[in-house]
Structure 1
Amino acid sequence: MIIASAITEKESGSDAYSMKTTAVKNGDDYYLNGSKYYITNAPIADYFLVYAFTDVNKGSIGGLSAFLVDAKQSGVEVMGPLEKMGLRTAQMGGVQLKNVKAICRLGEEGAATAMFNEAMTWERIILSALNLGIVVRVKEQVQQFGEENNRGGKKLNEQSEFVEVVSHADVFLENAWNKIIYAAKALDENSKQSFLKASVAKLLVAEQGEKVMRQLQQSTGAYGYLSKNGIERDYRDFLAFTIYSGSNYVQNKIISSFSHS
């Protein structure tokens, strides 16, 4: 069973709470109208977890609710798959809802923002660790390349420019791993700071990690540009982390909101 999370809309992007999708209650049932986009696994989903406003006037605090929708029921139109730069093994698409009766509501009415924020805290920590692993893999591949290749009669691993790139990667990995551990510890302790620390970890991994990945790829020259060697795919996949699970811009906004509170 595959359940796809449907919160993003074309016009809202990472500003998820400016969505237009609504859920109107009729008796004990809710009827959903709206469109969601950029949904991972949408083309192959059995169900959708749809976020919609039950009270537009209340906004995201008290007005947003979450619902389960069957992908095959009447009024549901699934779109995709969309062609992407990276993460091509994970299908992406959208879903249009026209007066769709929800199977059920998850949690209390108006409680979806708190639910979503908790889910994002987990997701950002876990995916930060996953993407850090991509950097580790590429760094090790680059080091192996440097050991096996010479330039000017000297191994690349012994040349200052190459060594500096690897050193920068090591420093980044150490710093990023510490931030991930701090965030995971805060989450484990149910700290109110876990949401902030998860954003700090994600922003560091996404923003600095992209630069490190680019430097690692470029340090190998044409080797890193060839599809068969895998580095270019890892780089394309990593770039997506600057967008999904909240873009770098969104993480900066979250961090800034804590510093001014």
Structure 2
Amino acid sequence: MNFEWTQEQDDLYHQAIEFAQKRMNQNLIDEDRNQVFSKEKWQACADLGLLGMIIPEQYGGLGLDALTVARVLEGFGYGSKDTSIFLSIGAHIWAVEMPLLLFGSEELKQKYLPKLISGEWVGAHAISEPAAGSDAMSMSTTAVKDGDDFILNGSKTFVTNAPVADFFITFATINKKYGFAGVTCFAVEGDIPGVSVESHMEKLGSRTSPMADVIFRDARIPATNVIGSPSSGSRVFSRIMFWERALILAPFLGAMQRQIEDCVRYANERVQFGKPISAYQAISGKIVDMQVRLESARLLIYKAAWELEHGDPTMPASIAKLVTSEAAVQTFLDAIQVFGGYGYTTDFEIERHLRDAIGTKIYSGTSEMQKMIIATTLGLKTQG
């Protein structure tokens, strides 16, 4: 791995910071309180090219490599105080656009990727089910072949972006007795009969990144909208999860960097008992720990991004996701302690970052699931 950024990578990083500082930080407290998804900000991200960074130019994207994308997302996270939108953008890119890019037919790529990249459509990834939880492949949603179509029936839950989505990547089984070998991936337009979004969820954090259940009632999907091939859904899901786990938390690197700088500034300026609180080891030690966690998470995400295109990303992606999510939660907890009573208030915005960060330990596979993946990759016997 080369740790020296090119001029182009550095320019894109600073461009992302400048854009986010100008366009992403208005009305955040009110938007969080009222659970407002800003289509205006979403469109601004699309206009900059953020929604199509990894997608080749022939479909309207920028055609950037994974490591460059990680760097740009870090810059975006440094500039944007809206940590909630990180998860909406991540779900849109990694769990919606990537399966189309990696496994979709040329017809599906041409039909759907430009709309997703341009911001015209918001994408959502519907796989989790109420009874399945982390056992994603043990699903009850069915797809029954009927002529040139499949008929989908079932329900999905915890679907990020669902209330504002125009398009869904979803999974259903063509034969439940086959287990994971029966799972099939579908591209589903949100306005077709039989697809409905219900039970909009109110959450602890990530409140401007909406979530809801998606219900399929005799939804007729053309067989040409199968992504990959019938029964290849498990492979599709596994592959795109490498990308999501490796890169969905890259913006939190920038958010943690900005938080550390704010803590350093405050600790040097805040005087207690005749000296700045930075002089007390109880405070300086917390900030040092923040920096150590950030440096570790940053290197792990960059390694995972590199492995996506040069090696086996299975373990690096899970390690990066595990460490970065845990680091983000602890960093914002420590920041509240540094700021004291002020850190606990809404106006200082740290509490919102903490609430948003807690969700990162659950999204894209819980921390416990990442440990299971790492254990299995190490060769540990994880089943009795």
Of 281, 284, 303, the match for 1:182: 303
Residue 249 of structure 2 is aligned to residue 128 of structure 1: yes
Of 135, 143, 155, the match for 1:35: 155
Matches within 5 A, 1:61-72: 62-72=181-191
Equivalent residues of 1:117, 1:195 under 8 A apart: no
Report the counterpart of residue 238 of structure 2 in structure 1.
117
Q: What residue ranges of structure 2 are gaps of 5+ in the alignment?
A: 1-120
In 2: Cα distance, 1:184 partner to 1:227 partner: 34
Of 254, 261, 278, the match for 1:140: 261
Deviation of 1:153 after TM superposition, in Å, equals: 0.9
Deviations 1:157-180 (A, max 9, x none): 222111100111111111111111
Deviation of 1:218 after TM superposition, in Å, equals: 1.6
Bigger CA drift: 223-232 or 109-118?
Answer: 109-118
In 1: Cα distance, 2:283 partner to 2:193 partner: 58
Counterpart of 1:211, as a letter, is: Q
What is the number of residues matched between the two proteins? 258
Deviation of 1:6 after TM superposition, in Å, equals: 0.3
Of 360, 365, 370, the match for 1:246: 365
Report the counterpart of residue 201 of structure 2 in structure 1.
82
Report the counterpart of residue 211 of structure 2 in structure 1.
92
Bigger CA drift: 167-176 or 119-128?
Answer: 119-128
Report the counterpart of residue 173 of structure 1 in structure 2.
294
Of 183, 187, 195, the match for 2:314: 195
Counterpart of 1:52, as a letter, is: A
Residue 348 of structure 2 is aligned to residue 229 of structure 1: yes
Percent identity of the aligned residues?
35
Report the counterpart of residue 12 of structure 1 in structure 2.
132
* DSSP 3-state at the match of 2:204: coil
Counterpart of 1:36, as a letter, is: K
Deviation of 1:55 after TM superposition, in Å, equals: 2.5
Equivalent residues of 2:175, 2:182 under 8 A apart: yes
| Normalised TM-score (structure 2) | 0.65
Equivalent residues of 2:314, 2:377 under 8 A apart: no
Report the counterpart of residue 62 of structure 2 in structure 1.
none
Report the counterpart of residue 69 of structure 2 in structure 1.
none
Deviation of 1:3 after TM superposition, in Å, equals: 2.0
Counterpart of 2:317, as a letter, is: A
Deviation of 1:98 after TM superposition, in Å, equals: 1.1
Equivalent residues of 1:22, 1:32 under 8 A apart: yes
In 1: Cα distance, 2:175 partner to 2:359 partner: 32
Bigger CA drift: 108-117 or 128-137?
Answer: 128-137
Deviation of 1:147 after TM superposition, in Å, equals: 1.8
Q: What residue ranges of structure 1 are gaps of 5+ in the alignment?
A: none
Report the counterpart of residue 178 of structure 2 in structure 1.
58
* DSSP 3-state at the match of 1:169: helix
Bigger CA drift: 230-239 or 51-60?
Answer: 51-60
Deviation of 1:215 after TM superposition, in Å, equals: 1.7
Equivalent residues of 2:344, 2:350 under 8 A apart: yes
Deviation of 1:245 after TM superposition, in Å, equals: 0.8
Deviation of 1:137 after TM superposition, in Å, equals: 1.8
* DSSP 3-state at the match of 1:17: coil
Counterpart of 1:59, as a letter, is: G
In 2: Cα distance, 1:43 partner to 1:209 partner: 27
Counterpart of 2:364, as a letter, is: S
Report the counterpart of residue 25 of structure 1 in structure 2.
145
Equivalent residues of 1:118, 1:195 under 8 A apart: no
Equivalent residues of 2:267, 2:338 under 8 A apart: no
Deviation of 1:128 after TM superposition, in Å, equals: 2.5
Equivalent residues of 2:205, 2:359 under 8 A apart: yes
In terms of fraction of residues, the more helix-rich structure is 2
In 2: Cα distance, 1:245 partner to 1:90 partner: 15
Of 228, 232, 238, the match for 1:107: 228
In 1: Cα distance, 2:255 partner to 2:135 partner: 27
* DSSP 3-state at the match of 1:108: coil
Deviation of 1:50 after TM superposition, in Å, equals: 1.1
In 1: Cα distance, 2:337 partner to 2:138 partner: 39
Counterpart of 1:249, as a letter, is: E
In 1: Cα distance, 2:216 partner to 2:124 partner: 14
Report the counterpart of residue 206 of structure 1 in structure 2.
325
Structure 1: 4+ residue segments shifted above 4 A: none
Deviations 1:218-239 (A, max 9, x none): 2211111111111111111111
Deviation of 1:211 after TM superposition, in Å, equals: 2.2
